[in-house]
Amino acid sequence: MIYLDHAATTPLDPAAAEAMAPWLDGRPANPSAVHAAGRAARAAVEAAREQVAGALGVAPLDVLFTSGGTEADNAAVLGLARAAREAGRGAHVVTTAIEHHAVLDAARWLAEREGFALTVVPPEPDGVVDAERVLAAVRHDTVLASVMVANNELGTLQPIGAIGAGLAERGVPLHVDAVQAFGRAELALERWGVAAAALSAHKFGGPTGAGVLVLRRDVACLPTSLGGGQERGLRSGTLHTAGIVGCGAAAALAAQRMATDVGRLAARRDRLAVRLLAIDGVTRNGHATARLPHNLHVAVDGVDGEALLLALDAAGVAVSTGSACQSGAAGPSHVLAAVGAPLDGVGHVRLTVGRTTTTGEVDAAATAFEGAVARLRAQGGGFW
């Protein structure tokens, strides 16, 4: 299989698997226990916390472990907004129309179930949100703004620096979904004035079921899970030692490799783009340059996206029609709808290369893509 769906999940890095192995051999691994086995697990968790903190340039105490990006996004959006309202600072949240559903659905929950006001800022047609439009949405009672660093479908990079600076002037905390960006783009959380950020280990070579919430200690946040008081009392539950160790190892590796990985990823992505965009009726979705280095998102005129995905899968090429978290969902992508992409008679496919993707695989995938598009068009495009 030629795997071109790295935005959905990345293969577990061998070094991360090796770091996890001692914690998967059946030994007791409850970091909350006070006996020797518990202390050893706690030491491993704290070492991983320092690895993640070092990779992000933040303090270890600001790193909290979660089950993944969805939990981290939920905990930040719900916890920060509720804490601010409890303190009497207001009840208005700002986000964008292209956020992951982990953010959008949490924000809508606040609006529909808890009486918060919500402003959803639309993107520009190129998939980039205008920083001034985000800042113009801020009101006197705004308690939180949530804007992703990079879109999980189109791969477009958002102007977080400008947004963070403007929000700081207005005294509004900023939460960022950094799940797609870590290891592939700059994450200057402190310089941007970010109050909270979410990461997911399986997006950068770590295991599934492990994630990170970076939360500054000077920002009030109410817990979304209660129990044993783990993770500063904000995320109760026995910590997943093996997953956290793998997350830490993968984060350290991703930070070390980023300088060389970005160029390699961009070269493979661009090689693929040259071939695919040369096909009649195939165009790029999203900004041409303000995007993650591994992401190529294309619109294919006259071909159904699901039919193209299945044709490529049969040819041994794995791609996606959108966010993996949305697989099987009815209706078009909310991101494509937000940017006004044509949906009738047009298929949309996301191809994302990884650090192990070879030029030979890129060329073979492009040849398979060309053939699949030609066959589907000859058969009516694969539309039902």
Domain with residue 368: its CATH number is: 3.90.1150.10
For 247-272, how does the pLDDT look when each residue is reduced to its tens digit (9 = 90+)? 999 999 999 999 999 999 999 999 99
pLDDT at 356 over 90: yes
> Given this model, what pLDDT does residue 330 score?
53
Is residue 271 located within the same domain as residue 236? no
Tell me the average pLDDT of the chain: 96
> Given this model, what pLDDT does residue 17 score?
98
Residue ending a domain, among 254, 282, 302, is: 254
For 190-210, how does the pLDDT look when each residue is reduced to its tens digit (9 = 90+)? 999 999 999 999 999 999 999
Who contacts 242 (Cβ-Cβ below 8 Å, separation ≥6)? Answer: 20, 23, 24, 29, 207
Report, as an integer, the average pLDDT of 267-281.
98
> Given this model, what pLDDT does residue 52 score?
98
Is residue 206 located within the same domain as residue 280? no
For 304-352, how does the pLDDT look when each residue is reduced to its tens digit (9 = 90+)? 999 999 999 999 999 999 655 554 555 689 999 999 999 999 999 999 9
Give a yes or no: residue 50 inside a domain: yes
Share of the chain above pLDDT 90, in %: 95
> Given this model, what pLDDT does residue 332 score?
80
Assign 3-class secondary structure to the chain.
CEECECCCCCCCCHHHHHHHHHHHCCCCCCCCCCCHHHHHHHHHHHHHHHHHHHHHCCCHHHEEEECCHHHHHHHHHHHHHHHHHHCCCCCEEEEECCCCHHHHHHHHHHHHHCCCEEEEECCCCCCCCCHHHHHHCCCCCEEEEECCCECCCCCEECCHHHHHHHHHHHCCCEEEECCCCCCCCCCCHHHHCCCEEEEEHHHCCCCCCCEEEEECCCCCCCCCECCCCCCCCCECCCCCHHHHHHHHHHHHHHHHHHHHHHHHHHHHHHHHHHHHCCCCCEEECCCCCCECCCEEEEEEECCCHHHHHHHHHHCCEECECCCHHHCCCCCCCHHHHHCCCCCCCEEEEEEECCCCCCHHHHHHHHHHHHHHHHHHHHCCCCCC
Give a yes or no: residue 384 inside a domain: no
Is residue 221 located within the same domain as residue 283? no
Give a yes or no: residue 225 inside a domain: yes
Q: How confident is the model at residue 383 (pLDDT cuts 50, 70, 90)?
A: confident
Is residue 107 located within the same domain as residue 172? yes
Give catalytic residues, as residue numbers: 325
> Given this model, what pLDDT does residue 323 score?
54
Report, as an integer, the average pLDDT of 33-38.
95
**What is the count of structural domains for the chain?**
2
Is residue 268 located within the same domain as residue 235? no
Give a yes or no: residue 168 inside a domain: yes
Residue-range definition of the domain harbouring residue 352: 2-8+259-378
CATH number at residue 115: 3.40.640.10
Is residue 225 located within the same domain as residue 301? no
For 286-317, how does the pLDDT look when each residue is reduced to its tens digit (9 = 90+)? 999 999 999 999 999 999 999 999 999 999 99
> Given this model, what pLDDT does residue 382 score?
87
Q: pTM of the predicted model, to two decimals?
A: 0.96
